[in-house]
A and B are shown apart, each in its own frame.
Chain A
C-alpha cells in the first residue's frame, strides 16, 4: 500500500501535568531492579495507519477515533503544529529527552490495532477504505547516565519483548527533526510459501537424527524407525506435511507418552514413616492410577452424576437438575517462560476453549489460576547470581498476572479461586495453571448436550482467529533466528475479543442446533483438532487453501500445524451450513469451510488441488507402542542443588508472636490481595464466596478457602451452588512425593468441604508438572524423578478411592527444566520440584450450607478438628525461615477412610447450621489459621491450652499436616456439634471475644497476645497501596 500515517495521542494542556501510575511504577521498577534513575518518564501511545491512497482529512477522523476530547489531543504526521508539540515536552519538564519507540514486529498479534482498524472503519468516510493498522508506544525519558544502547537494553528488560517488539531509541538532537513522522515504515509481513516436499527417510541413523533435529520434530529413535517402516510398506516417501502431522500428534504434549509408558518401579532406603510401595510393574500411570481409580469409583459407587469422563476436552458431571457442569485445568509453562504475558493469556483463553469445545459446547462461568513462581528478592537478598538468559522472576510474575487478568476480565469470566506458590526452583520454569468451569443445558433441541454428534459427510468449519506463523513448533526456535519481516513463530499473544465473539457465537449457534460437534484448536493446530474429530467418523478430507490466513505466504505444513489462537473447529451438517455461516457473519466471527468428515479411515489433505498428505488414522493414533521406563525411589539419589552457595537464615525466635508475624510476611502465607483484586472475581453475578472475606467493620482482606458459584444465574437451581478449591504443596516433594500428593488432594477436598461442599458429591482434577523423568546424560536423577511420579500417582489412586472422589479430567506437563549457563560459564540445570495441583469441585446443597472462614460473633467456641501433632517436626514453613528448625520423619499421614467419615460428619453439621465459621489448617499451621479467622473481624480469641508441655507449643502452633480445620460454633449448638464428631479427634481451644486480640494461655499462663490488626498488617505487607 501507498501511504502510512502516524498518530500520536497526547494528554491535552489540562491533563499534561498528570503523571500516571504506570509512569511512576516504571521509574520505581528501574530504580529497584536496574539501579537506573529516571527523572521523568512520559508514555505516549501511537498508531500507524497504512492506506492505499492519500485520505483527505484523515487527521480529523483519527482524532475522533483515537482521542478523548475531554483529556487528549492528537499529534500526527499530518499535523502542522509541531511547535505546540515541542511545547508540551517542555511543559512536562523535559530539557533534552531521549525517545524510546516500541513497535510490533511483523505478524505479531496486535489487539489495539485490530480494534483501532474496526473503529476507523465505523466512520462513513473510511468504511470502504483499505486500511492496515499497527500500534505502538513511545516513552520520553530523562535521567542519570542514559545513552541509546543502555535504554534499548532496559526497554527489552521491562516494556518490550525481543521476540515481539522492535525498539528504537532517538536522542534529543534527532528528535527535534521529527523524522519518525516523515519516513514511516509499516511492519508488513513478507514471506513466501514453500511447496510441498517429499522426505526421504531411507538414510542412515545419524542422518535421520540430524533431519529430526533440523525439522524440530522431536521424535524418538524408535518412533523414527516406526515411521520409516510404515512408509517402506507403503512403498513411498512421506511428505513434509505428513511428517509434521505425525510429529505433532506424537509429541509428548499431545500424546502424553510418559503417562502411557510401562514403568518398572523399585525403592530403597525409605526414611521412617515413608510408605513402602514395593516393587511394581505399572502398565501405564494414566491407565492404572488415574482412569483406574475413576472407573473403580464409578463402579463401586454407581455414580449417576458422572456424565462424561476422559474422552472429551473436559469432564462433565450432573450436580444440578437443569444444567451439567464441566471442568478442566491446563498448564502453559513453556510459553509463559518465553513471554509471561502472552503465555498466561493464551493459557487462560486456551482452557476456556477446552470448555467451549466440550460436548456440543459449554459456557465458561469461572476461572481458577495457580502460579508457581520465584521471587527476585530471594536471589538479591542471598546474593545469588542468576544463570544467563533467565528473566527476572518479578517480571515473570507481573507478566503472567497481567495475562490472566486480561484473559479472564476481558472474557467476562470471574477468577474465583487460585494460589500463589513460591520456591526458588521455579526461577527456571514458572508454572502457570489455568482452570475453567463451564455449564451446559442437559438437553437442547432434543439432543444431549454432552454428546458430540459429527457424521461422515459433515462439513469441517474453522472459525474464530486466522492462521499465522505464530505457534509453529512452539519453543524450539531461539530468539537469535529472528529476521526482520519474518513473523516470530515462537510466542503468541491471545486476542480476548475475537475469542469472546467466537464464544458468544458458539453458544448461540448451539442453541439453534446449527452444528453437530465442536472442538478447540490448541496444541498441534488443525492437525490435532481435525485429527481428533476425524477419529469419531474415521476420516476427513481437507483443502488447506480454504483456511483463512493472517497474511499470504504460509506453506501447507504451516497451515496444518500452526497453533494460532482463538480457533475452534466445527462439524456442520450441509443442511445447516448456510444458517451457520450467516450467523457467524452477523456476529463478526470469521468462519470458513475447509473440508468434510468421511469414513475412509484416512486423513486426506490437499493444497490447491494437490494431495499433500494421506495418512491412515489407525497409524496416526493407535499404532505407536508404549515406552518402557524404569523408576527407582531413594531420596539420597537426588542430584546436588544448582545453588552451591550456603544460604544463611535467621535462628528460631524465642517468642511466638515474632514467629507468627514472620510467617505472615513469608511468601507462601502473605496476602496477594493487590494482585488478586485485579481479577474480576464476580462478573456474572454468581460468586457467593469470593477470594477474600471479612466484615463490614474491618474490610475484606482475610483469605477464603474456596470459591462458591451460584447455579441460579447460570440456569441452574435457585438453591444450589458449586464449590471450587485447590490443593498444592510442592515443598513436601523432597521429603515424600507420596505424601505430597495426598496433601494436595486432601487440601483441595478440605477447602471445598470448608465452604459447604458435600464430600459425597465431589470430583477431582489432577495436573502434574514434573521435571523431566527420562534418562539422559544431562538428567542423572531421572529414575528418582520418575519414581516421584509413580509415588504421587499411586497416592492419588489410593486416596481418591478412599474418599470415593473420581478424577474427571487432568493433564501432565513433563519437561519443566531450564538448562543454561551461569555468569561463570558453568552449565546449570534448574528443575522444578515435582508439583501436583489437585482441583476439587463439589456440590453445595443449598445456599444455607455455605460457610465462610471469618469469626461471626463473640462468645463462640473455637475448635481444632484433627490431631494436635505435638510430637512431630512438620512445620515446613518454619524450616523455610529458620536455620535451626529441621523437618524430621515421620511426617503426619492421612487415614483415608477415617478422614472421609470426618468430612461427612463435618458436612452434616454444616447442613444442620451448627458451624458458624470454618477454615482449613495448611501452610503455617494452627496458629496462622486461627489468626486468619479473626483478623478480618472486630472479634478476638481467648485460647486456653492444657494437656501439653511448653516445649510442645512450637509443634502445636506451627506443625503442618493434612485433614485439619479450625471452626467456631455457637455455644447453643456445641453439644450437637460435638456429638456429631464422636470418634474423631477434636479439641475445644477457647472462645471468641470482643477485643480483637488473639490471646493464648497454657495452663493459665499467657504465652502469646497479638492483635488482629497487627497480624493483618504483616499479612498485607505487599498490599500497602490504595486497593
Chain B
C-alpha cells in the first residue's frame, strides 16, 4: 500500500546557526507532504521524534559560525546526543539529505560517503579561499541516488553559496583516485559541476551513500524551486525550477517504499 503524501513526514533541523530551514521546509511542503522544522535542542530532548519521520533534512547555514571547520561542531553535537536514534533511522531505510552546511555535517559525522565506516572524504576550503555565491551548471550523473531520479541525465542550474565546498579524499594521490573510482562505480556520485568552480575532486558537487538514500550536496535546490528565482530575466516565469525535482524525487521514493 502506498503512503499518502500528507502522511509523509519530513523533519528539518534548525538552531545553532542553521539558516535555510524555512525555504527547505517550504520546498518539502510544495510536494504536499508534512514538513516540520524542529530545533536541534528539541530533537535532543525528544530523539524518538525521529521515529515518526520519513525524511530528515539538515539544511544550509553557518552552524556554529563555521568555526573550527564547517559542520564540525554540529556533527559532534549530533554524534553525542542522538547518534543511536539516527542510526536506527538510517537502518529503517529512511531518507536523509544534507544541503551545503548540512552536507558538511553529514560528511563529518561519517555518514557520507559510507555510513559507519572510517572517514575517507571531507569538504574543505574552496580553491579561491573564500565564500562564493553564484549559479552553476551541474551534470546529474546516473547514480543510485533516490534524490535525483527525476533529473537523471540532465544538465541543471542551481546556486552555490559556500566557502568550504571542495571535496577532498584521504591519503596519497593513488588512494584518492581509488576512493573516487570506487564511489563512481558504486553509483554514488550523483551530481558534478560541469566545470571547475571550487577545486572539488573531479568537480563533485553531491554524493550519496551506497543505498542512495542519504544524499549530500553543496548547491542549494531549495533556492531554485521556482523559475522566478532564476538569475536571468529571460528565464523568470511561473514554473517549477530544477531544485524542485530533488524534492519530488524523494517524495516519489517515499511513495513507492513506505
Contact = CB atoms under 8 A, between A and B. Distances in A.
B52 interface: no
A92 interface: no
B122 to A, nearest CB: 4
A703 interface: no
Q: Which of A21, A68, A71, A496 has the most CB of B within 10 A?
A: A68
Interface stretch (A407-415, A458-466, A601-609): A407-415
B51 interface: no
A922 interface: no
Contacts of A696: 157, 232, 235
Contact of B172 (A14, A694, A700): A14
Contacts of B133: 677-682
A329 B55 CA distance: 40
B136 to A, nearest CB: 11
Interface in B151-194: 157, 159, 161, 168-172
A843 B42 CA distance: 38
A405 B41 contact: no
A203 interface: no
A696 B197 CA distance: 16
Contact of B129 (A21, A683, A687, A852): A21
Given A68-B108, A694-B231, A124 B16 contact: no
B120 A700 contact: no
Contact of B231 (A25, A111, A123, A690): A690
Given A22-B129, A405-B131, A680-B161, A68 B65 contact: no
B64 A119 contact: yes
Nearest to A1025: B128
Contacts of B22: 684, 713
Contacts of B224: 685
Contacts of B81: 122
A79 interface: no
Contact of A854 (B20, B42, B232): B232
A111 B67 contact: yes
A70 B22 CA distance: 32
Interface residues of B, number: 70
Contact of B128 (A21, A122, A685): A21
B67 A116 contact: yes
A695 B230 CA distance: 10
Contacts of B20: 412, 683-685
A123 B234 CA distance: 52
Chain B interface helix/strand/loop/mixed: mixed
A69 interface: yes
B94 interface: no
Nearest to A688: B228
Interface residues of A, number: 69
Given A412-B62, A587-B15, A693-B232, A14 B170 contact: yes
Interface string B192-226: 00001100000000000000000000001011110
Given A115-B67, A696-B157, A678 B26 contact: no
A682 B225 CA distance: 13
B73 A122 contact: yes
Q: Which of B17, B42, B224 has the most CB of A within 10 A?
A: B17
A696 B135 CA distance: 10
Contacts of B27: 685
Given A70-B122, A713-B22, A695 B65 contact: no
Given A412-B20, A586-B41, A685-B26, A122 B234 contact: no
Contacts of A685: 20, 23, 26-27, 220, 222-225, 229
B1 interface: no
A687 B131 contact: no
B114 interface: no
B119 interface: yes
A41 to B, nearest CB: 13
Interface string B59-83: 0111011111100110011001100
Contacts of A21: 125-130
Interface string B84-128: 000000000000000000000000100000000001111011111
B132 interface: yes
B238 A847 contact: yes
A58 interface: no
B257 interface: no
A376 B3 CA distance: 64
Contacts of B228: 688, 710, 847, 850
A65 B76 CA distance: 8
A390 interface: no
Contacts of A1027: 128, 132, 134
Contacts of B121: 70
Interface in A89-117: 111-112, 114-116
Contacts of A409: 62, 131
A587 B41 contact: yes
B229 A115 contact: no
A713 B234 contact: no
B68 A588 contact: no
A504 interface: yes
B49 interface: no
Contacts of B225: 685
Nearest to B108: A68
B76 to A, nearest CB: 5
A684 B23 contact: yes
A986 B128 CA distance: 45
B62 A677 contact: no
A369 B124 CA distance: 29
A588 B41 CA distance: 9
A497 B231 contact: no
Nearest to B42: A586
Contacts of A14: 170-172
B67 A411 contact: no
A680 B60 CA distance: 12
Contacts of B161: 680, 682-683
Contacts of B14: 504
Contacts of A500: 17, 19, 62
Nearest to A694: B232
A917 interface: yes
Interface in A480-510: 496-497, 500-501, 504
B215 to A, nearest CB: 19
Contacts of A119: 64, 68, 72-73, 76
Contacts of B157: 696
Nearest to A721: B228
A495 to B, nearest CB: 8
Contacts of A681: 133
B199 to A, nearest CB: 9
Q: Which of B45, B157, B171 has the most CB of A within 10 A?
A: B171
Interface string A650-691: 000000000000000000000000000111111111111010
B236 interface: yes
A669 to B, nearest CB: 22
A271 B26 CA distance: 59
A711 B20 CA distance: 16
A493 B231 CA distance: 34
B62 to A, nearest CB: 4
A647 interface: no
Given A71-B168, A119-B72, A586-B41, 5 more contacts: A71-B170, A410-B17, A412-B20, A852-B232, A1025-B128
25 contacts: A21-B128, A21-B130, A65-B72, A70-B119, A71-B122, A112-B68, A115-B68, A412-B19, A412-B61, A412-B62, A500-B19, A504-B39, A586-B42, A586-B45, A588-B15, A588-B41, A677-B133, A682-B133, A682-B223, A683-B223, A847-B236, A854-B234, A856-B234, A917-B233, A1026-B196
- Report, nearest first, the 8 A-B pairs whose CB atoms are least far apart: A412-B19, A21-B129, A852-B233, A115-B67, A685-B23, A70-B122, A685-B223, A410-B62
Interface of B: 14-17, 19-20, 22-23, 26-27, 39, 41-42, 45, 60-62, 64-69, 72-73, 76-77, 80-81, 108, 119-122, 124-135, 157, 159, 161, 168-172, 196-197, 220, 222-225, 228-229, 231-236, 238
